[in-house]
Amino acid sequence: MHSKEEKKQRFERCVALEKEGKLDESIREYEALVADLGGAKEIFVNMGALYAKKEKLDDAMRCFESARKYGEDHIVDFNIGSVLYKQGHYRKAIIHFRRCKRMRADFTLASLVMGLCYSRLNEKHAAKRCFDEVLKAWRDNVVALTALAIIAFQEGELQRALEYADKIAALETENKDILHLKAKILYRMERFAEYADAVKEIKKSSSGFKNFDLFIQSVPVEVYTDRYGRIDQKIESLKEKATVDGTASSLISLSLCHLFKGDTDQAIDCLVEARRRGLMQ
């Protein structure tokens, strides 16, 4: 068989193995192909991507550097930059992302990972510029939106941070991390009622909260009945006390009683109000 035809067939075999999920076997076939018949840009790019998936970053870099010898290519520079990012070499990675962008100005992924590099370097202005560029082409990119929300929160731009968080929450309703961030933003803004609602949403989606709910609900209310009265009587008494003295400690006690009764939403409301009063005193 002619070596060119054999090379093509063996390359297709490597690609087929990768599609079947046989990554290690595919890598071995790629390495054997290069040893027997020599490499090519596509061979080294594919092999480098496989090594990167396996977190064998030095081998991945070797492959991408070999691919570069066949001529400049934006994909090759992007991949080299991505490996450098994973290795923590953020400055070097940025150089390759810039090269990538010079060759393909519309290659949005380069802007995205370059923004992550700048974030790691705490160069927030440059990071925001990259993420804003991503959103112009890819307005629902959750990574860019999340990064911008965090930067805005860190810089005290709380309304902007909340707008980003709300957009992410609409795109990914099961995103627990953004629910936590949104709660932090609302608390910092002293929007305590909304903060309480956000905590309740976290409670719904968190296995720990769910299990605690189930535990609380499984305990008979009678367990908490003693010579000082039933739990409902205690709650009414503490509500009156919290209204009269206005202290956070009364609300914390009231919160515990609501927990004992199994009403975790009411307990959260009391704790949030206790926090609010504690801040105001």
Domain boundaries, the chain: 1-71, 202-281
Encoded tokens for 83: 């490996």
Q: What is the dihedral of CA 33, 36, 42, 46, to 10 degrees?
A: 30
**Is residue 243 packed enough to be buried (19+ CB in 10 Å), middle (13-18) or exposed (0-12)?**
exposed
* Architecture of the domain spanning 1-71: Alpha Horseshoe (1.25)
Q: Which fold has domain 202-281?
A: 1.25.40
pLDDT string in tens for the chain (281-residue length): 457 888 889 989 999 999 999 999 999 999 999 998 888 999 999 999 999 999 999 999 999 999 999 998 999 999 999 999 999 999 999 999 999 999 999 999 999 999 999 999 999 999 999 999 999 999 999 999 999 999 999 999 999 999 999 999 999 887 888 888 888 899 889 888 888 888 777 777 665 544 444 544 444 444 344 444 555 666 677 667 666 666 666 666 666 665 555 566 776 776 677 666 664 44
Tokens 């090594």 sit on residue: 51
Tokens 């804003």 sit on residue: 132
Convert 2-22 to b/e letters by CB count within 10 Å (16 or more is b): eeeeebeebbeebeebbeeee
Encoded tokens for 254: 């009231």
Model pLDDT, residue 279: 46
pTM for the full model?
0.74
